[in-house]
Structure 1
């Protein structure tokens, strides 16, 4: 049977099998989507094995492999140069493996109607997901970007890479009066330390966006909602990037008219 999967370490928290399985059932397609734990040392062997399996259509990639994948999979679209991280590997028309990234478009999907032009933004994190977020923000023409990270020097390098004006600060820094705050780190995820920020400096109409989806309402989102700020949870980005990957894997557009039913399934 044709199949795709999501790989990472850990992987048991992933909701991707629920999403792709839901769409496969709605479309009546004969396919499967799995979750597979892959150790960093086994990445090369994993892709060599899957490349030889004609039933395998590709995989989504989650932490901690989004950068390391580029050492094992061809990158004809120069994802390494554009974003520097991969979240999707799919089989091309000639059977070859191709690395790409659907995180950037998936991130922007739920805020497509928000005018971010020249507006100040805060991004937390400097890993693979943060790279996709910063790439997307650079295309949206945002204003000053404040990047918070345990290692500010790494954050400063990313701002320069994506041509964003701003500064990189430690996680303990006071927030500016930003219009958008994005948590693009694993902080706040189940099993990870919380992301403890004082949100009072944010603009009154600020939007707080947390890409973490386990738990769905993170302490960051709860604090934002208590302040009366608009929020976007991690399921929005997860479903958005999954939709793009699904079409690459299975050659059909997912049935997005059932998003409310899908969300209810994911929250059950």
Structure 2
């Protein structure tokens, strides 16, 4: 009897850390199962899905760029959160159905949960980016009563995202250059205020231009959160720490979203007590 397996698909895919994460958990649990990466082009996506759904051992796949929206018509149904976000990063075989999920929202929120469990007078998040990751982040933070400021090259796209995903509340769309220069704005510095500054764009990723962000735009006590995972230490995070702010790196979100997917693929919770060891491996 062959072993169950899951995969991650994308174009490109060589940079994906998902095989390391899922392989680490499978090893720790001693499960006879596998997880690997498959290079799937846009033109080959339909053939890949058709081929895999006929294999009883295939439990599903994680989905990276550029397939998070293209895969939707190939699925039997969508989880409500994935439907609201409008993107799928996890396709899971459930009986005879292939079901689409988005675990990015849960993965993003996971390292923030200790802060969100507290009461605050006011919560604001400044989000740079308007792509697929930003969709998940906007959806997640709107549910946690944040006022949102989304900065994008195209502010009209940012406005449309806010109107679609966070129609309640007073939110703002600004050009990305808004945060590039200094400000002397007098921020509310009460301790019960909770502020996030989030890079939800590819800026700062290896091979991409850097993100121009002036840290005078971050209120006292802000947390800087960069979803970029390569490099692990970005100029954005270094700048935040130099300004005395707390930081969260992209590996935290990556592990969090993978944990939800792992449970759906293999029917077991991953052994999170080994997170410190996993983080070390991811940074080697």
- Scaled by the length of structure 1, the TM-score of the pair is 0.94
| SS of aligned partner of 2:60 | strand
Correspondence 1:153 to 2:156: yes
Distance change (3 Å), C-alpha of 1:123 and 1:254 = same
Q: Give the equivalent residue in structure 1 for 2:37.
A: 35
Q: After TM superposition, give the deviation of residue 201 of structure 1 in Å.
A: 2.0
Q: After TM superposition, give the deviation of residue 34 of structure 1 in Å.
A: 0.7
Structure 1: segments with no counterpart, 5+ residues: none
C-alpha distance in 1 between matches for 2:174 and 2:69? 23
Q: Give the equivalent residue in structure 1 for 2:108.
A: 107
Q: After TM superposition, give the deviation of residue 63 of structure 1 in Å.
A: 1.7
C-alpha distance in 2 between matches for 1:113 and 1:78? 25
Q: After TM superposition, give the deviation of residue 238 of structure 1 in Å.
A: 0.4
| SS of aligned partner of 1:141 | coil
Spell out the pairing of 1:1-268 with structure 2 (5 A cutoff): 1-79=3-81, 81-92=83-94, 94-115=95-116, 118-143=122-147, 145-162=148-165, 163=167, 164-174=169-179, 179-268=195-284
Distance change (3 Å), C-alpha of 1:14 and 1:117 = farther
Larger radius of gyration: 2
CA contact (8 A) 2:155 2:173 kept: yes
C-alpha distance in 1 between matches for 2:197 and 2:43? 34
C-alpha distance in 2 between matches for 1:193 and 1:42? 30
C-alpha distance in 2 between matches for 1:84 and 1:117? 31
| SS of aligned partner of 1:131 | helix
- Scaled by the length of structure 2, the TM-score of the pair is 0.89
Q: After TM superposition, give the deviation of residue 6 of structure 1 in Å.
A: 1.0
CA contact (8 A) 2:92 2:264 kept: yes
| CA RMSD after TM alignment | 1.7
C-alpha distance in 1 between matches for 2:274 and 2:82? 34
Map Cα deviations across residues 54-82 of structure 1 (whole Å, 9 max, x no partner): 11111111122212221222224244541
Q: After TM superposition, give the deviation of residue 17 of structure 1 in Å.
A: 0.5
| SS of aligned partner of 1:120 | strand
CA contact (8 A) 1:117 1:142 kept: no
C-alpha distance in 1 between matches for 2:199 and 2:121? 19
Q: Say which is worse superposed, 196-205 or 17-26, in terms of deviation.
A: 196-205
